[in-house]
């Protein structure tokens, strides 16, 4: 599990931006809330995979707890899965500049439908009412990357809880875009994972300043229970 370090400066900036409040979203409507679980797939979690994020295995219990509590509170759970095919070379050709040929080929081979890295990690408690959403960019909220925004709008959801991996890549990209799509964004400190503590905390500190509330699994569950009981 990552050692969480939200800086005093980041918190002070957040409080200043929010007119003296530490958190932007003290009260949420659980029926209008979705847990977004990003890229918790074998490609990022299985030992020996090219894109393995060891810390991602540590956060599985917290994600399962959040999913269970949000379902009980009447919210929605969405499992978002990176899904690519060879069209990505044309549609997102800059990847070939940013990544080696070997890395690009491994990504496509593993993250195509039916690929060895595409499935969700088997330790997740996925229920029949949960959504499975495919995305073809880092951000699930980028126009054209997935149908997640359309699903959320149709379900009258206005609040999203961001979890998954990598904190500083797909989670942060999705959180930023979600906020700019007018969703209330809550990012969970101990239900996201990155390649290092520094990468994880740098991302969380950027988020807390302006884009999202940043809280722990325990705090989020307490908030869900408080709002459910009202």
Neighbouring CB atoms inside 10 A of 58's CB total: 14
Class of 8-229 in CATH: alpha beta
Q: Which of 57-66, 86-95, 105-114, 137-146 has the lowest mean pLDDT?
A: 86-95
Q: How confident is the model at residue 86 (pLDDT cuts 50, 70, 90)?
A: confident
Beta bridge partners of 213: 186
Q: How confident is the model at residue 89 (pLDDT cuts 50, 70, 90)?
A: confident
Closest CA to 70 of 34, 45, 97, 28: 34
CA 87 vs. chain centroid, Å, equals 25
Tell me: pLDDT of 127 over 90. yes
Quick check: pTM over 0.85? yes
Tell me: pLDDT of 230 over 90. no
Residue 186 is predicted with a pLDDT of 98
Segments in 29-100 forming alpha helices (H): 42-45, 54-58, 60-72, 88-91, 95-98
Write the pLDDT tens digit of every residue in 129-168: 999 999 999 999 999 999 999 999 999 999 999 999 999 9
Mean pLDDT confidence for 6-21: 94
Q: Prior bond to 31 cis, omega within 30?
A: no
Residue 69 is predicted with a pLDDT of 97
Residue 171 is predicted with a pLDDT of 98
Tell me: pLDDT of 228 over 70. no
Write the pLDDT tens digit of every residue in 28-64: 999 999 999 999 999 999 999 999 999 999 999 999 9
The one-character DSSP state at 171 is I
The one-character DSSP state at 166 is -
Residue 227 is predicted with a pLDDT of 72
């Amino acid at each position: 599990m990552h050692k969480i370090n939200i800086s005093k400066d980041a918190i002070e900036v957040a409080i200043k931006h929010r007119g003296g409040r530490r958190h932007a979203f003290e009260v949420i409507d659980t029926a209008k809330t979705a847990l977004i679980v990003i890229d918790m797939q074998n490609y990022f979690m299985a030992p020996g995979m090219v894109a393995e994020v060891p810390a991602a295995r540590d956060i599985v219990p917290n994600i399962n707890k959040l999913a269970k509590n949000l379902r009980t509170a009447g919210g929605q759970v969405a499992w978002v899965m990176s899904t690519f095919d060879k069209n990505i070379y044309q549609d997102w050709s800059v990847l070939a500049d940013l990544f080696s040929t070997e890395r690009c080929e491994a990504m496509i081979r593993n993250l195509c439908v039916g690929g060895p890295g595409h499935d969700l990690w088997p330790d997740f408690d996925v229920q029949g009412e949960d959504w499975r959403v495919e995305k073809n960019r880092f951000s699930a909220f980028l126009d054209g990357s997935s149908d997640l925004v359309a699903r959320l709008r149709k379900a009258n959801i206005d609040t999203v809880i961001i979890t998954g991996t990598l904190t500083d890549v797909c989670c942060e990209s999705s959180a930023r875009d979600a906020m700019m799509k007018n969703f209330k964004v809550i990012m969970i400190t101990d239900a996201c994972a990155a390649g290092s503590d520094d990468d994880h905390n740098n991302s969380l500190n950027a988020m807390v300043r302006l884009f999202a509330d940043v809280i722990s699994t325990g705090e989020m569950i307490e908030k869900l229970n408080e709002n459910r009981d009202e």
